Amino acid sequence: MTCVKMIHSLYEDGCEGSPSNPVRFKGQDYMQLKKSLLSQANKFEDETFPANSDSLGKLEDLTPEQLKEVEWLRPHDLNPDPSFIEDGTSRLDFKQGDVGNCWFLSSIGALTLHNGLVAQVVPHDQSFKNDYTGIFHFRFWRYGKWVDVVIDDLLPTRNSEPVSVSSRSQKEFWAPLLEKAYAKICGSYKDMIAGNPPEALKDFGGGVHMNYKLCKDKSDLWDVMYRAIESKTMMGCGTFTGDKGKEIYKTFGLVDGHAFAVTAVKQLEIDSDSIKLVRVWNPWGEKEWNGEWSDKSGVWNTVCDQDRDECLKQRNDGEFWMSMKDFCTYFEELDICCESPNFISGDEGEWNCSLKEGRWEKDTSAGGSDSQSGEFWTNPQYRLTVREGEEECEGAKNVLLSLLQKPDEEYRSKLKYHSIGFTIYRVPEEAPRGRLPQSLLQDEEPLKVSEFSESRELIEFHSLEPGDYLIIPCTYEPNQTGSFIITIYSKVEAEIE
């Protein structure tokens, strides 16, 4: 395992927001609630996320008449012998329901490949047998802190079939309950409709997220993906929308505008040629690629029996292989989330991590992006000191900056992200400590001005020589209010204040 001081290690053991002491979502204490339920021999009914139409919301795939037919049932009503987890957690345990949240479910599929993270998100000491009271809990990384989310096990159904994600065995319920916990964080099941995998990947572990546009020529992408698998990352990908996406759907069996998980990469040797393959999983549990290297492709007859048997263990499960070339042609983008940036740089060194919270306030600390304006210097300022280190390599990227928006809105579907970015200056040696006035740097050219993006998170990699730097996170337009988290990963020793 590569060495990295992870985000959650910034908290002392037992400190609120750490893995051992997560923040209680809506103030609910799982252990105290369960103890009270046991003493009263009651089953939990969550008043903060009640089993009604408000918690479900208006799902696009159900008509108003069908929504009226929804009945909230406990797992014991759906199966006389339900299980929370059987034989571990797997992406093949579940399939998507009538909630358009493929972005979230594909991310669960990626999560299940990493047992350590699964155990953090899905506490395994839960059961329908011993001390069962209808209460469960799950944990998510939310804006720098781990949060514990309590739910009851009443699930939305129609005709005794789950409306949301369902168990392929019809017996195992960890995935439907995990989905319900995330729906509670989002505001409702409806609020989970539409999204991108990195949002959920980030909430499953924090860490570093990188996005790759596959249509661009990236000669090192295979190496990045291989290192990502070796580093135990989570990877998600998405297909095109519009006319190009519909053509893919018709011709090759893929789904346009849909989120998938990348679950493996493999290099095969055939007649002295190296073939690079990518394994992809559809959270629908069906609809697979039918081109070259698909389950029924004749090209599998050209590989040795061992490789063929290893790669084609199951069929009709939504998972398939395709060549790296086809993957980059028919998928639009790839997202990778990992605790350390080492999958990018390819080395095994230690990364330090610092996290700070900030806020833009209208008329006081939201000066916009124009560095020549008088208001620009009212933006929050962060002084980054990069020290000399043994592992320095001239020109190597040694600092990764993340700017993550922290919305005030409770309901996910109502979120509106600002266009955000940051400007980096080299601080003159004579500069005092504390906030710097505009006059000190007004004649200085910024060392770097980032792109601006209306996204939840903006990430950029930089090569910074030893010295002091001023980082100014900002919104593109002035006087826009919002909270943010700035995270800095540094390859050499660095301090931020």
pLDDT in tens, 236-285: 999 998 776 677 777 888 988 999 999 999 999 888 788 999 999 999 88
Higher pLDDT, 47 or 351: 47
Report the distance separating Cα 115 and Cα 113, nearest Å. Answer: 6
In order of 52, 185, 199, 334, 456, the CA distances from 209 in angstroms are: 35, 21, 9, 10, 11
pLDDT at position 472: 95
- The answer to whether 197 touches 336, Cβ cutoff 8 Å, is no
Domains of the chain: 7-191 (no CATH), 208-338 (3.90.70.10), 351-496 (2.60.120.380)
pLDDT at position 200: 94
Average pLDDT over residues 142-167: 93
Which of 196, 282, 342, 398 is the catalytic position?
A: 282
What pLDDT band is residue 219 in, cutting at 50, 70 and 90? confident
Average pLDDT over residues 5-27: 72
pLDDT at position 9: 44
Residue 115 a catalytic site member:
no
Contacts with 494 (C-beta within 8 Å, 6 or more apart), sequence order: 352, 354, 384, 385, 386, 387, 399, 488
Residue 258 a catalytic site member:
yes
Over residues 298-350, the pLDDT tens digits come to 999 888 888 888 888 767 788 999 999 999 999 999 999 988 777 776 666 77
Which of 8, 114, 258, 418 is the catalytic position?
A: 258
Which of 101, 102, 237, 398 is the catalytic position?
A: 102
- Please tell me the pTM assigned to this model: 0.90
pLDDT at position 230: 83
15-32 burial: b if 16+ Cβ within 10 Å, else e: eebbeebbebbeebebee
